[in-house]
Amino acid sequence: MSGTKGAVLLRAVRSGLTLVELVIVVGVLGILFMLTTAAVQSAREAARKMHCSNNLRQIGLALQNYVSQSGCFPPIDLASYRPGMPAAHYYSVLTRTLHLADNVPLYNSVNFYFVPVVTDGLVSNRTAMLSHVGLFLCPSDSGGVVEGYGRTNYRFNVGVTCRFAPGASDPPSLAGPFTTHFAYSPAAFTDGLSNTVGVSERLQGDWVKSTFKRGGDYSLSPFNGAAQILSADEAVELCNSVPAGFAVESRGGESWFVSGFHFTNYNHLLPPNGKGVACAFDDLLEPIDIRVIHGGVFPATSYHNGGVMTASMDGSVRFVADGVSPRVWRALATRAGGEVLDAID
């Protein structure tokens, strides 16, 4: 009996795991967990990227529908009234195409008579401006809903210029697909609608003054009015020279309702997610009409791995890699530059 009992105990001991075996099992499980987590995260980001792409497709389709109805693309700002088009300044392309993007009730609530960033406009359009529209948000930039105006990740390209308002002495400021005081017909795009990027992404600010969210927040600068005299490369150099510790604006993408670099416009001075400094040539941001921002460097940015989503003026959507050459990226920003685009690299 005692011998049999001892054999049973011996078998029980031998059926357990040694410390080395236990460490190996835990290690394998840890690796499997990390691989599974990475795969899940990758799948989720792929879904978010697809969602973002679909948003851009809808925005691009709204642009095409606007052209069909008006004969031109919507303006980002207006100098004078045109039949069938709202007359007041600073309404964004997103606002002007709401009714063409399945947001008819919201569009009908907008009072286009008043400028949206001054007293009467802010009062009459308060409900619309406070509305959050899922179509205008990329889920890859998940920061939660911030109280205040409805925010956006989608921006409209003003070209290879640091200026929001164009000038005859600065030809690049008149060469982009969206130009203040102009509304272009498809015929104006001699480079081809498919070769002109009209819309891309920019991360929202983090809404926290004490931290800097790269790609969303931007530096202010002491260079007021500099946009009037700067070339693209000079503007980039000037932003890179902003003194360390200078003021930062954390409310980028604050409202889909309004045009301007702070809100719904960007430029092609730096490649996507470029290493240069995003900055405004202004050190004043209050009240809200000052935040339109008329000069600065505001590149396309995103949290997608390796690039940004874009929509061309024909409505097609494509992913442009961070490594695209500055020459190609700038060529894609003009509607009639005559550049030869051999590839997007």
All residues at 6 or more sequence positions from 107 whose CB lies less than 8 Å from its CB, including other chains: 95, 98, 99
Contact between 304 and 319 (Cβ < 8 Å) = yes
Cα(192)–Cα(248) distance, rounded to whole angstroms?
A: 38
Residue 14 pLDDT: 53
Contact between 266 and 305 (Cβ < 8 Å) = no
Q: Is the peptide bond before 299 cis (omega within 30 degrees of 0)?
A: no
Scanning the chain, the segments in alpha helix (DSSP H) are 2-14, 19-70, 93-96, 104-108, 119-124, 126-129, 232-240, 326-331
Q: Per DSSP, which regions of 150-220 are E strands? A: 154-157, 197-201, 218-219
Judged by average pLDDT, the poorest of 11-25, 111-125, 153-167, 264-278 is 11-25
Centre a 10 Å sphere on the Cβ of residue 191 and count the other Cβ atoms it contains.
Answer: 22
Identify any residues that bridge with 310 across adjacent strands, giving them in sequence order: 200, 318
Cα(119)–Cα(121) distance, rounded to whole angstroms?
A: 6
- For the chain, give the mean pLDDT: 88
> Which contiguous run of DSSP H or E holds residue 292?
none
Residue entry with tokens 């011996």: 10
- Sign of the four-CA dihedral 61, 99, 133, 249: positive
Residue entry with tokens 């005692």: 2
Q: Parallel, antiparallel, or unpaired: how do β-strands 197-201 and 154-157 relate?
A: antiparallel
Cα(268)–Cα(232) distance, rounded to whole angstroms?
A: 9
Contact between 314 and 63 (Cβ < 8 Å) = no
Tokens, residue 309: 């989503």
Residue entry with tokens 């007293």: 119
All residues at 6 or more sequence positions from 30 whose CB lies less than 8 Å from its CB, including other chains: none
Which is higher by pLDDT, 10 or 310? 310
Closest CA to 325 of 339, 337, 315, 311: 339
At residue 51 the predicted structure's pLDDT band, cuts being 50, 70 and 90, is very high
- Check residue 163 and report its DSSP letter: B
Q: What is the pLDDT of residues 232-266, one digit of tens each?
A: 999 999 999 998 888 999 999 999 999 999 999 99
At residue 30 the predicted structure's pLDDT band, cuts being 50, 70 and 90, is confident
Q: What is the pLDDT of residues 55-94, one digit of tens each?
A: 999 999 999 999 999 999 999 988 654 555 556 789 999 9
- Check residue 298 and report its DSSP letter: -
Residue 209: what residue type? K
Q: What is the pLDDT of residues 113-164, one digit of tens each?
A: 889 999 999 999 999 999 999 999 999 997 666 789 999 999 999 999 999 9
> Which contiguous run of DSSP H or E holds residue 279?
strand 279-280
Q: Is the pLDDT of residue 200 over 70?
A: yes
Residue 343 pLDDT: 46
Residue 264 pLDDT: 98
Domain definitions of the chain by residue range: 24-71+130-331
